[in-house]
Every structure is written in C-alpha cells, then in structure tokens.
Structure 1
Amino acid sequence: MPREVKLNELTDLLGEASYPLSAEMVQSKFGDVTLVYADGSESMSEVLDRIESEQFDSAEDVQTSIFNAVPVEGVGEPGQSEGEG
C-alpha cells in the first residue's frame, strides 16, 4: 500500500532506516512514498531522481537533499514566510 507523508513528517519516516545508505537503497526503501505538499503531491521516487548524492550518512542528509529538491511552491502557502504571523 502506498504511503503518504507530509514534509513535516519526513524526519520520522527517514529515521526508520539505518545509515549510511546508498542512493539506490534510499530509493528502494522510500520510493513508494508520496510526499504531500501544500499545493499537491509528488512521488518521493521522482524527488530522489533529482538528487545527485550517491550516499547518505544520516536521515538528516536525506531530508536536506529532499528539501532542496522539492519545488518551492510545495513547501508553504503562497505569499507566506516564516517571519509573518
């Protein structure tokens, strides 16, 4: 069954694995996950395909790489910044 994960839940998901992991193993373990964005969703497999790293030493490494590969529109509501509120 496909898994859906919001970006703010990614840390818990990635923490389920033992590191270091090759990019191939990350794809194997998490490729079936759908990332739920503020404005839609995308397969984690598609996001991982855009990442050039060959190996990840920690869950934080994977998460940072994913956040850098996610479209900016997917992270928050349009016009919103962390300083507002």
Structure 2
Amino acid sequence: MAREVKLNELTELLDSASYPLSVDTARQEFEDVELVYADGTESLRDVLDRVEDNRFDSVDEAQSSILNTVPVEGVGEPGQSEGEG
C-alpha cells in the first residue's frame, strides 16, 4: 500500500533517510510514496526520475531538488498557500 505524503510533510519523510543519499537509493527507499498535490498524486519515484542531481548531501538539498521538479499545477493556484493540514 502506498504512503501518501503531502508536500508540506516532505521534510519529515526525507529526514528519515541517511545522508549523503544517492538518488538511486532514494528511489528504492521511497518507492511506495505518493506525493499528494493540489490536483492529484504522483509517485515520488517518478519525480526523482526528473531530478538532475545524482545525490543529495542533506535533507534541505533533497527537498529543494524535489520541489523544483514538482509541476506548478500540483502546488495549487498562484499565490495560494498550502495552509495547515
């Protein structure tokens, strides 16, 4: 069963890994994770396939790379925050 993770919960998920973390290892560790977007879901594995980095040296680096790869439509309307929850 897939684990659903909202974008505002991504840091907590990524914090469970050991760094440095190769993108290949991240694909394996998080293969069951579905990112929940404003307009649907996408597997984290598919997002990681689009990341240009080969490894992440920290949680912040991993999160930044992943969020830069998430489709704009997935985050919501321009100027809209995710809010709590």
What TM-score results when the alignment is normalised by the length of structure 2? 0.88
The answer as to 2:22 corresponding to 1:13 is: no
The answer as to 2:66 corresponding to 1:81 is: no
Task: Give the structure 2 partner of residue 3 of structure 1.
Answer: 3
What CA distance in whole angstroms lies between the structure 1 residues aligned with 2:41 and 2:71? 10
Deviations for 1:4-48, whole angstroms, at most 9, x for unmatched residues? 000000000000111001111111111220000011110111100
Alignment coverage as a number of residue pairs: 81
4+ runs deviating over 2 angstroms:
none
Please report the RMSD computed on the Cα atoms of aligned residues, expressed in angstroms: 1.4
Offset of 1:82 from its aligned partner?
5.4
Deviations for 1:35-82, whole angstroms, at most 9, x for unmatched residues? 000111101111000011111001111111110000001112x2x415
Code of the aligned partner of 2:79: S
Task: Give the structure 2 partner of residue 69 of structure 1.
Answer: 69
Code of the aligned partner of 2:28: S
What CA distance in whole angstroms lies between the structure 2 residues aligned with 1:31 and 1:69? 17
What CA distance in whole angstroms lies between the structure 2 residues aligned with 1:47 and 1:23? 11
Superposition map of 1:40-59 within 5 A: 40-59=40-59
What CA distance in whole angstroms lies between the structure 2 residues aligned with 1:52 and 1:32? 21
What CA distance in whole angstroms lies between the structure 2 residues aligned with 1:23 and 1:43? 14
CA radius of gyration, larger in: 1
* Identical counterparts, % of pairs: 59
**Structure 1 regions of 5+ residues with no counterpart?**
none
